Structure 1
Amino acid sequence: MTTREAFARARAEGRAALIPYVMAGYPSRGRDLEIVEQVLPYADLLEVGLPYSDPLGDGPVIQRASEQALRQGLRVAEVAGFVQEIRALTDKPLFLMTYINPVLAVGPAAFFQMFKEAGATGLILPDLPPDEDPELVSLAQRAGLETTFLLAPTSTDARIQAVTPHCTGFVYTVSVAGVTGARDRLPEGLPELVQRIRRFTDAPVAIGFGISNRATAQQAAQAADGAVIASALIRALEEGRGLAEVLSEVQAGLQGAVGQFMG
Structure 2
Amino acid sequence: MSIVSSTLSSLHYPCGLIPFITAGSPSINSTEKALLLLDQSGADIIEIGLPYSDPLADGPVIQEASSQALSQGMNLDILLDLLHRVKDNIQAPLVLFTYYNPVLSRGVAVFLQEIAAAGIKGIIIPDLPLEESDYVIEVCNALSIELILLVTPTSPSERIDNILDKSQGLIYVVSSTGVTGMRDEINNRMEDFIARIRLKTDKLIMIGFGISKDEHVRKIMNWNVDGIVIGSAFVNCLSDPNPDEGLKKLQDFCLSVGKTLRSNPIG
**TM-score of the aligned structures, taking structure 1 as reference length:** 0.90
CA separation of 1:29/1:244 partners in 2, compared to 1, >3 Å: closer, same or farther?
Answer: closer
Deviates more, 1:148-157 or 1:103-112: 148-157
Amino acid paired to 1:4? S
2:79: which partner in 1? 79
CA contact (8 A) 1:215 1:253 kept: no
CA contact (8 A) 2:47 2:95 kept: yes
CA contact (8 A) 1:109 1:139 kept: yes
Q: RCO greater where, 1 or 2, for CA within 8 Å and sep 6 or more? A: 2
> Structure 1 residue 21: deviation in Å?
0.8
1:150: which partner in 2? 150
2:16: which partner in 1? 17
Separation in structure 2 between the aligned mates of residue 77 and residue 165 of structure 1, nearest angstrom: 33
> Structure 1 residue 257: deviation in Å?
6.5
Once the two structures are aligned, what percentage of the paired residues are identical? 35
Deviations 1:85-139 (A, max 9, x none): 3312123211110100000111111101101111110111111132344223322
Deviates more, 1:91-100 or 1:240-249: 240-249
CA contact (8 A) 1:16 1:254 kept: yes
Deviations 1:146-171 (A, max 9, x none): 10011112123312211123322521
CA separation of 1:2/1:133 partners in 2, compared to 1, >3 Å: closer, same or farther?
Answer: closer
Amino acid paired to 2:4? T
CA contact (8 A) 2:25 2:238 kept: no
CA contact (8 A) 2:50 2:75 kept: no
Amino acid paired to 1:59? G
CA-based RMSD of the aligned residues comes to 2.0
Matches within 5 A, 1:245-256: 245-255=252-262
For these two proteins, the number of residue pairs brought into alignment is: 257
CA contact (8 A) 1:221 1:256 kept: no
1:165: which partner in 2? 165
1:36: which partner in 2? 35
Separation in structure 2 between the aligned mates of residue 129 and residue 171 of structure 1, nearest angstrom: 15
1:243 to 217, 235, 250: 250
1:233: which partner in 2? 234
Deviates more, 1:163-172 or 1:215-224: 163-172
Deviations 1:60-103 (A, max 9, x none): 10011111111111221221222223312123211110100000
Separation in structure 2 between the aligned mates of residue 34 and residue 181 of structure 1, nearest angstrom: 23
Separation in structure 1 between the aligned mates of residue 260 and residue 165 of structure 2, nearest angstrom: 30
Deviations 1:18-42 (A, max 9, x none): 0011221111112211111221122
2:127: which partner in 1? 127
> Structure 1 residue 56: deviation in Å?
0.3
1:213: which partner in 2? 213
**TM-score of the aligned structures, taking structure 2 as reference length:** 0.89
Query: Which ranges of structure 2 fall in alignment gaps of 5 or more residues?
Result: none
Amino acid paired to 1:23? T
Separation in structure 2 between the aligned mates of residue 131 and residue 256 of structure 1, nearest angstrom: 41
Query: Which ranges of structure 1 fall in alignment gaps of 5 or more residues?
Result: none
> Structure 1 residue 256: deviation in Å?
5.9
> Structure 1 residue 220: deviation in Å?
1.9
CA contact (8 A) 2:36 2:90 kept: no
CA contact (8 A) 1:15 1:257 kept: yes
CA separation of 1:166/1:244 partners in 2, compared to 1, >3 Å: closer, same or farther?
Answer: same
